[in-house]
Amino acid sequence: DAMVIQNPRYQVTQFGKPVTLSCSQTLNHNVMYWYQQKSSQAPKLLFHYYDKDFNNEADTPDNFQSRRPNTSFCFLDIRSPGLGDAAMYLCATKDRNLRSEQYFGPGTRLTVT
């Protein structure tokens, strides 16, 4: 059974057209993460939520925003996608326990035309 679900799996958007990626989880985990992964690179953390507390990475562009309306759902909003934002976007979740495992979703591959 899928535990971390990302929709859509593939998203094509136009340059400058806002896009929203979604992530949902059935694990009731406190922590949710959004990563950006470009080709042949390690995932880069954009931000994470600890419950409702939002934690932005210092180098995450303002173009990227996130919402977490409840425990189960988290959204990544890209306000004005540029060609450089084409990447795989990965959502992950984790229990509050420091030693608990991080569970990754299947990712959404974003193409910007």
Partner 1 sequence: KNEVEQSPQNLTAQEGEFITINCSYSVGISALHWLQQHPGGGIVSLFMLSSGKKKHGRLIATINIQEKHSSLHITASHPRDSAVYICAVLSLQGAQKLVFGQGTRLTINP
Which residue ranges make up the site for partner 1 (CB under 8 A)? 6, 31, 33, 41-43, 45, 48, 50, 55, 88, 90, 92, 94, 98-99, 101-107, 109
CB of 50 to partner 1, least distance (A): 7
Nearer to partner 1, 42 or 83 (CB): 42
Least distance (Å) from partner 1 to the CB of residue 104?
A: 4
Q: How far apart are the first and last CA of the chain?
A: 34
Nearest-approach distance from CB 68 to partner 1, in angstroms: 15
d(CA 37, CA 48): 15
Name the nearest CA neighbour of 37 among 102, 92, 74, 80: 92
Structure tokens at 28: 């009731």
The residue among 75 and 79 lying less far from partner 1, judged by its C-beta, is: 75
CA-to-CA distance for 90 and 96, rounded, in angstroms? 19
**For residues 37-49, b (16+ Cβ closer than 10 Å) or e, as one string?**
eeeeeebebbbbb
Nearer to partner 1, 79 or 109 (CB): 109
> Whose Cβ is closer to partner 1: residue 83's or residue 98's?
98
Minimum gap (Å) between residue 72 Cβ and partner 1: 19
